[in-house]
């Protein structure tokens, strides 16, 4: 019913513990790994969801995209997708309560997305989808994003404490994963954003030594706007998660500094592990 509301883990997988109270999920058999997705589209994990209506008992399929750059308040459902499965047309901006939503063997006891038009994102992605799942979607679970195996899964266990060599803290200013980087001796934290089709996006700030002037390199589609990106190669060395990148290609941003899916892949191949704990909780209530 929808109601409007006022074991061992391979070293080449990217692992996070997501600790925030957005979707409270329980697995039917917590001892066994639960594969959430085996499909990637332009760096985004495609997550099949099932919603079983309390009123009719019928099951309906929904397609979700999972984005590590999405914060806890960014749980959205497209109005057309909602109307298709519920038979109800809910005004954009309203939040709905959906009982009986599951992903594989995970049952969400709290699923309250906000209705938001997302057809433009589907057009840019090349795939129609119904739900946007933010990073804090799996409360207290060991979330494994295994790009080489093309598996997004939940596993049992915990990670060791960050050691600055193979295990790194992903704590930041909000409930999303942030990673400390070093730019010529200056430290900053940047967002790990699997939904960004690029490498590094940094603010210019007069600290980047360009090999040549940046040029228009891409136009990306965000939730509420289109963004034109200038990019170029810099002379600076950037260290991310104990890995050195000499003269990397950097995009200029006026928004959040982030690391896109291309850079994610480089770090994943090196077997980096990140621990995401101590996140402040949020609620859709």
Is the domain of 248 the same as that of 269?
Answer: yes
Strand, helix or coil for residue 173: coil
Is the domain of 10 the same as that of 150?
Answer: yes
Is the domain of 134 the same as that of 177?
Answer: no
Domain's final residue, options 120, 155, 190: 155
Is the domain of 117 the same as that of 59?
Answer: yes
Strand partners, 114: 76, 95
Is the domain of 87 the same as that of 11?
Answer: yes
Answer whether residue 280 is part of any domain. Answer: no
Strand, helix or coil for residue 148: coil
For residue range 118-165, list pLDDT tens digits in order: 988 888 888 999 999 988 787 677 788 887 888 888 887 777 787 777
Answer whether residue 231 is part of any domain. Answer: yes
**Cα(193)–Cα(191) distance, rounded to whole angstroms?**
6
**Contact partners, residue 165, CB within 8 Å, separation at least 6:** 242
Please give the model's pTM, rounded to 2 decimal places: 0.73
- Helix and strand numbers, DSSP H then E, in the chain: 3, 26
Is the domain of 130 the same as that of 173?
Answer: no
Mean pLDDT value of segment 87-105: 90
Domain's final residue, options 101, 134, 155: 155
Is the domain of 71 the same as that of 185?
Answer: no
Distance of CA 7 to the CA centre of its chain: 23
pLDDT at 220: 65
User: Token pair of 201, please?
Assistant: 């996006």
Is the domain of 34 the same as that of 142?
Answer: yes
Domain's final residue, options 155, 178, 196: 155
Is the domain of 110 the same as that of 191?
Answer: no
Q: Which of 7-16, 54-63, 137-146 has the highest mean pLDDT?
A: 54-63
Strands 59-66 and 131-133, how do they pair? Answer: parallel
Domain count, the chain: 2
Domain of residue 257 covers 168-275
Is the domain of 93 the same as that of 196?
Answer: no
User: Token pair of 184, please?
Assistant: 């010529």
Q: Which of 49-53, 197-201, 205-209, 245-249 has the highest mean pLDDT?
A: 49-53
Is the domain of 189 the same as that of 148?
Answer: no
Is the domain of 137 the same as that of 173?
Answer: no
């Amino acid at each position: 019913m929808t109601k409007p509301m006022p074991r061992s883990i391979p070293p080449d997988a990217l692992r996070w513990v997501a600790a925030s109270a957005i979707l409270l999920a329980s697995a039917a058999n917590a001892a066994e790994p639960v594969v959430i997705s085996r499909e990637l589209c332009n760096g985004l994990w495609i997550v099949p969801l099932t919603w079983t209506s309390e009123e009719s008992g019928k099951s309906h399929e929904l397609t979700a995209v999972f984005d590590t750059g999405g914060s806890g308040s960014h749980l959205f459902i497209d109005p057309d997708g909602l109307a298709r499965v519920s038979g109800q047309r809910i005004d954009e901006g309203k939040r709905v309560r959906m009982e009986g939503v599951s992903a594989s063997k995970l049952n969400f006891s709290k699923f309250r997305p906000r209705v938001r038009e997302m057809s433009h994102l589907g057009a840019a992605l090349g795939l129609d989808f119904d739900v946007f799942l933010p990073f804090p979607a799996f409360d207290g679970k060991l979330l494994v994003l295994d790009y080489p195996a093309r598996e997004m899964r939940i596993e049992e266990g915990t990670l060791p404490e960050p050691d600055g060599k193979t295990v790194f803290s992903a704590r930041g200013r909000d409930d999303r994963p942030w990673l400390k980087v070093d730019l010529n001796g200056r430290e900053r934290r940047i967002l790990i954003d699997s939904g960004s089709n690029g490498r590094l996006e940094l603010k210019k700030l007069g600290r980047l030594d360009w090999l040549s002037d940046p040029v228009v390199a891409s136009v990306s589609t965000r939730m509420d706007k289109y963004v034109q990106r200038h990019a170029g190669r810099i002379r600076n060395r950037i260290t991310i998660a104990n890995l050195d990148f000499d003269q990397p290609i950097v995009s200029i941003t006026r928004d959040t500094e982030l690391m896109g899916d291309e850079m994610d892949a480089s770090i994943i191949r090196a077997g980096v592990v990140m621990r995401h704990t101590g996140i402040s909780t949020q609620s859709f209530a």
